[in-house]
């Protein structure tokens, strides 16, 4: 951390207050987001929204944890992102991975995406420290066959647009390569 950023009480100035990292499945977006946070501070918070509902998901979660290592503190928040954001500190960036799983959890719990999105945006605006959010870009593929699938795709698109509008930096990852869409 630079002396200037330490004096301001936050992580590296190269990490904006709010960064959104988008990409397709297995695009490298989580690794990219982790690298951003690790470069900004020696210790970080990781907010996991996934739930281990089957063996495959348990294996994915274990792989993510092993890759991150011991310098990360994990907060499990499949539904309560606002609570996770509330514990973020200026000197300890928060990585939320991922918004798309959070949205899926909301829909399965019967919660209103509009109300939850508004609460999330307000919480992000008031956050004490820098936050990096990861989300899937699901609108580039086929139109889902089921009404729930179409609703999920549409809500994910709205969520991504909503967060991108308030983010200082938005990065799209394709084949492990970043394309900055917004911010420097």
Dump pLDDT digits (tens) for 134-183.
Answer: 999 998 888 999 999 999 999 999 999 999 999 999 999 999 999 999 99
Confidence of residue 114 (pLDDT cuts 50, 70, 90): very high
For residue 16, is pLDDT > 50? yes
Find out whether 97 and 132 touch, Cβ atoms under 8 Å: no
Closest of 164, 49, 24 to residue 108, by C-alpha: 49
Confidence of residue 11 (pLDDT cuts 50, 70, 90): very low
The question of whether 55 is a catalytic residue gets the answer no
**Residue 13's pLDDT is what?**
55
Q: Domain-by-domain residue ranges, the chain? A: 3-182
% of the chain with per-residue pLDDT over 90: 68
For residue 90, is pLDDT > 60? yes
Over range 21-48, report the average pLDDT.
93
Task: Give the active site residue among 10, 29, 64, 169.
Answer: 64
The CATH number given to 3-182 is: 3.40.50.300
Find out whether 74 and 34 touch, Cβ atoms under 8 Å: no
**Residue 51's pLDDT is what?**
82
Q: Where are the alpha helices (DSSP H) in the chain?
A: 3-7, 29-40, 55-68, 81-86, 99-108, 113-126, 147-166
């Amino acid at each position: 951390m630079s002396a200037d950023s330490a004096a301001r009480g936050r992580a590296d100035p190269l990490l904006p207050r709010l960064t959104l990292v988008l990409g397709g499945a297995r695009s490298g977006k989580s690794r990219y987001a982790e690298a951003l946070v690790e470069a900004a501070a020696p210790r970080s918070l990781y907010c996991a929204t996934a739930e281990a509902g089957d063996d495959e998901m348990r294996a994915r979660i274990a792989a993510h944890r092993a890759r991150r290592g011991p310098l990360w503190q994990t907060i499990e928040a499949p539904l309560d992102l606002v609570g996770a954001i509330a514990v973020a500190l200026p000197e300890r960036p928060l990585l939320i991975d991922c918004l798309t799983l959070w949205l899926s959890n909301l829909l399965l719990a019967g919660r209103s995406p509009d109300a939850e999105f508004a609460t999330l945006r307000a919480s992000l605006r008031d956050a004490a420290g820098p936050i990096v959010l990861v989300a899937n870009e699901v609108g580039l593929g086929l139109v889902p066959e089921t009404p729930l699938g179409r609703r999920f795709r549409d809500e994910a698109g709205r969520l991504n647009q909503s967060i991108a509008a308030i983010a200082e930096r938005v990065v799209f990852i394709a084949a492990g390569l970043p394309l900055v869409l917004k911010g420097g």
